[in-house]
Amino acid sequence: MYGKCARVTDALMVFDGISAKNVFSWTMMMAAYSQNGHYREALELFTRMQWEGTRPDKVVFVIALDACAASGELDHGRQIHSSVVGSGLTSNIIISNSLVNMYGKCQDVPCAEKVFDGMLLRDVVSWTAMLAVYAQNGCWSQALECLSRMDAEGVKPNQVTFVTIVDVCAKLRLLDLGRKIHHRIINEGLEPDGILGNALVHMYGSCGSFDDMKSVFSRMGQSSVLLWTTMIAGCSQNGQYEEGLLVFRKMDLEGVKANEVTYMSMVEVCRNLDAVKEGEMIDARILESPFCSSTLLATSLISLYGQCGILDRAKGLLEHMYQRDVVAWNAMVTACAQNGDNWEAIHLLRRMDMEGFGANKVTYLSVLEACANLEALSQGREIHARVLLCGLLQREVAVGNSVITMYGKCGQTEAAMSVFEAMPRKDDVSWNAVINASVGNSKFQDALELFHGMELEGLRSNEFTLLSLLEACGGLEDLKLARQIHARAAAGGFGGNSTAVGNSVVNMYARCGSLLDAKKAFDSLEEKGLVAWSIILAAYAQSKDGPGRRAFKFFQEMEAEGIKPGEVTFVSALDACAAMATLEHGRSMHRRAAASGFVETSLVLGNTIINMYGKCGSPSDAKLVFDQMPEKCLISWNSLIVAYAHNGHALEALSSLQEMLLQGFDPDSGTSVSILYGLSHAGLLERGVEHFRSSIQDHGLEPSSGQLKCLVDLLARKGFLDAAEELILASPACQADTIAWMTLLAACKSYGDPQRGIRCAERVFELEPQHSGSFVVLANLYASVGRWSDASRIRKMMERMSVKKEPGCSWIELSGSVHEFISGESKHPKIREICEDLEKLTLRMREAGYVPDTTNVVHDVEEGDKEEILSRHSERLAIVFGLMSTRPGETIRVVKNLRVCSDCHAATKIISSVVGREIVVRDSSRFHHFKHGQCSCGDFW
């Protein structure tokens, strides 16, 4: 009685009070222990019984063997088996069945088989026990063979047999066999209810047959919480999470109370649905249930809230847990790392240490991820030391992989490589991690060499490997290699069925400068999503070859395909507008981005719009956007300063710098270069020198090559050629910079210093033998001082070295269309009308005092021919076409790929005066705002 009432202590007191114990007394006390989970005490009592001379009977042996099975006491079980043999009870079928069961539960399958095969008489319990031994120990084929033998011997399975074999079908996902067993159960006249029905529901759920699972469930008496819980778990297992919620609600309506496993299944359902509201409801229900202190449930809820990004609720659960274990801590650490609360993840590890919880593999993986996200090298090194000290780094490949990734994100490729080389075992993830670390730190050649090493190890590359290799090829800008890797990707089956690889191929070709290959790769994509369109649009927008107009067409095609532009798409489209200086297109894109809601929320997009207006020659619009931004960063201020500087508003750029400093932003090298650029083009030498001194002394900036080149430009423009040359020679960075020497060379032409110009040109030839600009400027320099033979010599040298001068090209946007003009061209459909209007305009210009500056023509031809050549420069053709095609008073905006020559600059000033128009020209150097016969550059460009 006491044993069945779980009063083991009282039962023992009664037992100890019995003066003459018989086998029945010992049996009842052993049963009391065993029934209440005190298996060790039951076995100790069995031993004591033998010592005191009481001979066990078959019931005692069965109880003792069941205690061994439950506690996994194999050695003790073998001793009892010996006692059975000594007692002559081996032929007893009940004891033999218990021996089979004991050996199976203790994972000794051969001994179980030996007992089973030695049985002279076997009943359905014997076969079921042996079948269970195989199933419990993962011997699936033997289990199925055992069922066949059982059938062959004519033993009819019972309900327990069917439960066991149905579980085998569930484990192996043998749906067809499971259905046959189900039909057999029906044919045998067994009602699939209770445990058997539950096993069938579980089997169909495990085999992915949701309809069969629902069918069995619907035909059963649904009063068992076990059945409802199995059904909910089956819904979750088959991705039918909404159905799982419905089953739980029906269970409530039926009045069936959930148990701990039910709640565990429901939390999993909510986690997969990201269903916060339903998860909170389950949380509240758990608090009101007997399982409110369950560590397992609290841990599951932490994972749910972590996945849904509600870290405060997750932290609250952890803090109020009745008993925390390492799994609960890990759930919280993982939640923090996955939600960007990386410092908290690291702090939680410290708390685990303080509270005596030993971190394990899962903990370290999450904390290493947090260190990688933060690029927290010091903390990452500490974790590296810990996993090395506890041996996890040597035992667990995943930990080594995470350490490699952490060092890669922290820019420590050598440390990543060192960890990789020291790993005793490496898998494909290890190789991918170290390759990715190299790519992420621009060690592209190292990444390719590692890839070859991976192949030599016999490991196959996967999608992650290819993504890194494609990135490496793009970084190296090696078109030949890029095509080889692309071919390998296609051969490996990744060409058409992987969206990520397909997008990366397009991006790689774009970075390698081959828009043709990029377009072919884009066209071959089976599925073109927003990412693919954004990549190809950015490729054309950022191309140095100037096909920005194609970017607009891609944008239109993308919308025609029903793809809604994203933030990155608008950034690329706006970059295209900036590259082409198409203000109306830019304004249109600005309006559309604002209508999409991105402008208010995206700092990157706001900065891009400021940059676009600056490069389209409208710094006032740039300032308006800047003022409306709810949040600003250093890039925002720099973008505004660049807009002012490049449009000739040097003083406004300086004023913005002062305001930026008052707002608490520290300037960087980019800020300083922009200010110096504006001052240089305004000819404000003293202001420029003062700013350079202030940037070093007041703001702690190291002199950069960009700043020094601006100083060279400042000095050279004001005619201080000696000082400019000395500055270049004093700076190793400038000495090795083509732009610095070209700046001085251009000034030599302006100030008529051919000897110094020759020195500059020679340095440019050394640095870039194919640099056409140096040849052209030197030839112009010789021509400007009448040294025609030298100018001719330079032209012939260009022909001999196959150096081609980039032709002058200008374009103008009118009514949403972009018109392009090449110097001296005759292909434009309205070229005849343009030339006629140009002749008329030239006469008016001459009347206003225009005298062609023919020193810009390097050919030794008649003056009239030189004037004709100058008049056909591309920007002049574009301006005349603009005047023809727009209303009086409307601003003309032209973009040129080269620097405006001095004659066109003077001509455009006069044109702005005689036609009464503002003309904005963006050349390769800056913006020129021509109005009333003056230019915003003050003739410094």
* Structural domain count of the chain: 5
The answer to whether 404 and 428 have CB atoms below 8 angstroms apart is no
Find the mean pLDDT for residues 544-564.
77
Confidence tier at 784 by pLDDT (50, 70, 90): low
> Are residues 128 and 81 located together in one domain of the fold?
yes
Confidence tier at 214 by pLDDT (50, 70, 90): very high
* pLDDT of residue 861 exceeding 50: no
Last residue of a domain, one of 133, 156, 179: 156
> Are residues 450 and 478 located together in one domain of the fold?
no
Find the mean pLDDT for residues 729-755.
86
The answer to whether 629 and 636 have CB atoms below 8 angstroms apart is yes
Q: Which residues pair with 930 in a beta bridge?
A: 919, 935
User: How crowded is the C-beta side of 324, counted as CA atoms within 13 Å?
Assistant: 21
439-445-447 Cα angle (round to 5): 45
674 within domain boundaries = no
Domain that holds residue 880: 809-935
Confidence tier at 854 by pLDDT (50, 70, 90): low
* pLDDT of residue 283 exceeding 50: yes
602 within domain boundaries = no
* pLDDT of residue 183 exceeding 60: yes
Closest CA relative to residue 895, chosen from 616, 501, 490: 616
Which pLDDT score is estimated for 493? Answer: 67
Report the amino acid identity of residue 784. Answer: S
Which pLDDT score is estimated for 548? Answer: 62
Find the mean pLDDT for residues 566-585.
88
**Minimum mean pLDDT range among 284-298, 553-567, 764-778:** 764-778
Which pLDDT score is estimated for 863? Answer: 46
> Are residues 139 and 20 located together in one domain of the fold?
yes
Find the mean pLDDT for residues 731-758.
86
> Are residues 742 and 779 located together in one domain of the fold?
yes
> Are residues 81 and 139 located together in one domain of the fold?
yes
Confidence tier at 26 by pLDDT (50, 70, 90): confident
What is the per-residue pLDDT across 488-510, written as a single tens digit (0 to 9) for each?
878 776 655 678 889 999 999 99
309 within domain boundaries = no
* pLDDT of residue 773 exceeding 70: no
Last residue of a domain, one of 132, 156, 180: 156
> Are residues 1 and 136 located together in one domain of the fold?
yes
pTM assigned to the model: 0.72
How far apart (Å, rounded) are the C-alpha atoms in residues 286 and 263? 7
Confidence tier at 5 by pLDDT (50, 70, 90): low
Return the structure tokens found at 910: 């006069």
Helix axes 260-273, 225-237, angle to 10 degrees: 20
Which pLDDT score is estimated for 96? Answer: 93
> Are residues 768 and 902 located together in one domain of the fold?
no
What is the per-residue pLDDT across 424-439, written as a single tens digit (0 to 9) for each?
999 999 999 999 999 9
* pLDDT of residue 254 exceeding 50: yes
Which pLDDT score is estimated for 544? Answer: 57
CATH number of the domain at 786, please.
Answer: 1.25.40.10
**Minimum mean pLDDT range among 125-139, 155-169, 547-561:** 547-561
What is the per-residue pLDDT across 378-426, written as a single tens digit (0 to 9) for each?
999 999 999 999 999 999 999 999 999 999 999 999 999 999 999 999 9
Confidence tier at 862 by pLDDT (50, 70, 90): very low
> Are residues 434 and 387 located together in one domain of the fold?
yes
- Of the chain, the end-to-end C-alpha distance in Å amounts to 107
Which pLDDT score is estimated for 808? Answer: 83
Which pLDDT score is estimated for 788? Answer: 67
> Are residues 927 and 799 located together in one domain of the fold?
no
Which pLDDT score is estimated for 427? Answer: 94
Which of residues 52 and 8 earns the better pLDDT score?
Answer: 52
Find the mean pLDDT for residues 88-108.
92
Average model confidence (pLDDT) across the chain = 88
Q: Helices marked H in 458-566 — which ranges?
A: 463-476, 479-491, 499-511, 515-524, 530-542, 548-560
How far apart (Å, rounded) are the C-alpha atoms in residues 650 and 656? 10
How far apart (Å, rounded) are the C-alpha atoms in residues 453 and 113? 49
Find the mean pLDDT for residues 7-17.
76
* pLDDT of residue 859 exceeding 50: no
Q: Which residues pair with 814 in a beta bridge?
A: 817
581 within domain boundaries = no
- What are the two backbone dihedrals, phi and then psi, of residue 727, each rounded to the nearest 5 degrees? -65, -40
* pLDDT of residue 442 exceeding 90: yes
* pLDDT of residue 318 exceeding 70: yes
Closest CA relative to residue 602, chosen from 566, 567, 638: 567
Which of residues 17 and 308 earns the better pLDDT score?
Answer: 308
How far apart (Å, rounded) are the C-alpha atoms in residues 808 and 806? 7
* pLDDT of residue 196 exceeding 80: yes
How far apart (Å, rounded) are the C-alpha atoms in residues 896 and 580? 9
CA distances from 642 to 570, 666, 698, 900 (A): 21, 16, 21, 20
**Minimum mean pLDDT range among 188-197, 281-290, 546-555, 899-908:** 546-555
CA distances from 381 to 340, 376, 403, 634, 734 (A): 20, 9, 9, 31, 39
The answer to whether 431 and 459 have CB atoms below 8 angstroms apart is yes
Pairing of strands 919-922, 817-822: unpaired
What is the per-residue pLDDT across 786-838, written as a single tens digit (0 to 9) for each?
776 776 777 777 666 665 667 888 989 888 788 889 887 667 889 889 999 99
**Minimum mean pLDDT range among 171-175, 330-334, 631-635, 815-819:** 815-819
- What are the two backbone dihedrals, phi and then psi, of residue 196, each rounded to the nearest 5 degrees? -65, -45
Which pLDDT score is estimated for 860? Answer: 42
Percent of the chain whose pLDDT exceeds 90: 60
What is the per-residue pLDDT across 903-914, written as a single tens digit (0 to 9) for each?
899 999 999 999
> Are residues 813 and 748 located together in one domain of the fold?
no
102 within domain boundaries = yes
Which pLDDT score is estimated for 317? Answer: 93
R_g of the chain computed on alpha carbons: 42
670 within domain boundaries = no
What is the per-residue pLDDT across 651-681, written as a single tens digit (0 to 9) for each?
999 999 999 999 999 999 999 999 999 998 8
Helix axes 499-511, 479-491, angle to 10 degrees: 170
703 within domain boundaries = no
> Are residues 831 and 791 located together in one domain of the fold?
no
> Are residues 389 and 507 located together in one domain of the fold?
no
Find the mean pLDDT for residues 756-763.
85
Which pLDDT score is estimated for 799? Answer: 66
Which pLDDT score is estimated for 857? Answer: 54
778 within domain boundaries = yes
Confidence tier at 87 by pLDDT (50, 70, 90): confident
Which of residues 774 and 694 earns the better pLDDT score?
Answer: 694
Last residue of a domain, one of 128, 156, 184: 156
